[in-house]
């Protein structure tokens, strides 16, 4: 018997994530865009992202029944074991015997037939303890493990991330963040013409989606129950899939009709689309990125949504920007570690290393400095990341603005007011230093940082 289609899809995506450093969300989008049934698409997504979220705990439990380190197993064998254990531990509707037999078939189909008895034996031994929780699970942890390591194993994160978050956020907020990272994130879309929100809502419901209002924005909808990229509203360019915090970053630019906006790191184009609509009619957005293939993909998205007035340009933003003029509005949505998006991109936490934050800080500071050189007097620049780390956020901002007289941080909550739902307030999203921050377990969004900078001289 062959493994089910959903499991084969998840297995192949996990293999590519591990061996090619691909991103699971991109692979799932590409694979599930074809003729894959809704049930198979849902299970493939659950298995792929669930295994990545809980990888460390799964490996810890597996290791207790292995004769050699899990990391020394053939990748395909390790993935079959992780998938089997994940199903037994987290998926109530899949019997243990089905999880075991399907994983054995995955190993066989990956030409690891000789390892099939190992997969079968390990998973069968694990079945009685697969669902252990609370004190029973903690009793399995190494006796000499530190508090950081115990927390990191139980919540399936690297030690170094847990340690730095405990130091900055404290015990309660860190555990809340770890729990949020291990839950499927809320899937949101932006209704590109806010006046059409009721009609788009109704269209999505007719197609079987569960639709709820956004938590913060009046033109945001939260979706579940299917693949939004297959919805009529998406095909017709009426919605764009975008987290609410990401949408708010674009609104902070406060672009107006007729403005010329420089979008320094434009791909994948979600914020560019919001800016293009804000400056119409008569304005334009110069959308730049270092990677031409990412610009092409962003351009395709904006063609789908009918955005006009966007000029595309490939450039390296750490170098002096090739413009003679200055700009009244600039967005620097800097490439970053992505630690605010671990629920959406769980593979990041297994790839990211501490020294990468220092390297990212250097590039981000250079980008922001080059962009500030092109900010006009009286102009506004928004620097943003989807990171929770100070090296990429406030440290970058303070270092860059120290080079320019007259640049100050502006906590402009009013820029968001026209876009908020009735009764919503942006005040909780700005800290005492004037920085915009979202924290996943508290804001119900990805973790974003933004600094609104204005130049008076």
Nearest to 84 by CA among 39, 111, 121: 121
Overall size of the chain counted in residues: 457
Q: Respond yes or no: is residue 189 known to be catalytic.
A: no
Q: 402: which residues sit within 8 A by CB, 6+ positions away? A: none
The backbone region for 282, taken as left when phi is positive above 0, alpha when psi lies in -120 to 50, beta otherwise, is left
Options 188, 265, 336, 386, the catalytic residue:
386
Nearest to 377 by CA among 335, 340, 328, 411: 328
Indicate the pairing of strand 327-333 with strand 375-385.
parallel
Alpha carbons 48 and 28: distance in angstroms, whole number: 9
CB 192, CB 277: distance < 8 Å: yes
Query: Which long-range contacts (C-beta less than 8 Å, at least 24 apart) are formed by 10-13?
Result: 10/43, 10/44, 10/47, 10/48, 10/51, 10/83, 11/76, 11/79, 11/80, 11/83, 11/106, 11/110, 13/44, 13/48
Q: Which residues are catalytic?
A: 386
């Amino acid at each position: 018997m062959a493994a089910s289609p959903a499991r084969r899809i998840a297995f192949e995506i996990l293999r590519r994530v591990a061996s090619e450093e691909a991103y699971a969300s991109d692979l799932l989008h590409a694979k599930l865009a074809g003729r894959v049934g809704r049930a198979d698409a849902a299970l493939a997504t659950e298995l792929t992202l669930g295994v990545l979220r809980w990888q460390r705990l799964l490996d810890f439990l597996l290791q207790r029944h292995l004769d050699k380190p899990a990391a020394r197993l053939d990748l395909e064998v390790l993935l079959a074991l992780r998938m089997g254990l994940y199903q037994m531990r987290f998926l109530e509707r899949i019997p243990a015997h089905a999880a075991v037999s399907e994983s054995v078939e995955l190993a066989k189909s990956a030409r690891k037939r000789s390892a099939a008895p190992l997969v079968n034996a390990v998973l069968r031994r694990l079945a009685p303890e697969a669902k252990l929780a609370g004190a029973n699970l903690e009793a399995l942890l190494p006796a000499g493990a530190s508090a950081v390591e115990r927390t990191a194993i139980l919540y399936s994160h690297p030690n170094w991330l847990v340690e730095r978050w405990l130091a900055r956020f404290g015990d309660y907020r860190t555990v809340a963040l770890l729990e949020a990272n291990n839950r499927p994130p809320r899937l949101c879309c932006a209704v590109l013409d806010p006046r059409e929100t009721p009609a788009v809502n109704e269209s999505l419901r007719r197609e079987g989606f569960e639709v709820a209002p956004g938590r913060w924005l009046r033109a945001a909808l939260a979706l579940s129950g299917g693949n939004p990229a297959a919805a009529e509203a998406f095909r017709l360019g009426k919605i764009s899939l975008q987290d609410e915090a990401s949408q708010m970053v674009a609104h902070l630019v406060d672009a107006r009709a007729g403005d010329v906006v420089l979008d320094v790191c434009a791909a994948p184009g979600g914020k560019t689309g919001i800016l293009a609509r804000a400056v119409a009619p008569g304005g334009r957005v110069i959308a730049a990125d270092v990677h031409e293939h990412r610009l092409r993909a962003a351009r395709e998205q904006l063609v789908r949504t009918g955005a006009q007035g966007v000029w595309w340009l490939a450039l390296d933003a750490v170098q002096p920007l090739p413009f003679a003029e200055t700009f009244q509005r600039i967005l620097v949505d800097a490439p970053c570690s992505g630690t605010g998006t671990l629920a959406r991109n769980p593979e990041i936490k297994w790839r990211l290393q501490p020294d990468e934050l220092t390297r990212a800080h250097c590039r981000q500071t250079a980008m922001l400095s080059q962009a500030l050189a092109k900010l006009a007097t009286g102009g506004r620049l928004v620097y943003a990341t989807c990171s929770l780390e100070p090296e990429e956020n406030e440290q970058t901002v303070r270092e860059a603005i120290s080079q320019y007289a007259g640049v100050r941080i502006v906590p402009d909550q009013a820029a968001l007011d026209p876009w908020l739902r009735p009764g919503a307030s942006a005040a909780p999203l700005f800290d005492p230093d004037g920085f915009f921050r979202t924290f996943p377990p508290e804001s119900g969004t990805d973790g974003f940082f933004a600094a609104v900078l204005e130049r008076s001289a």
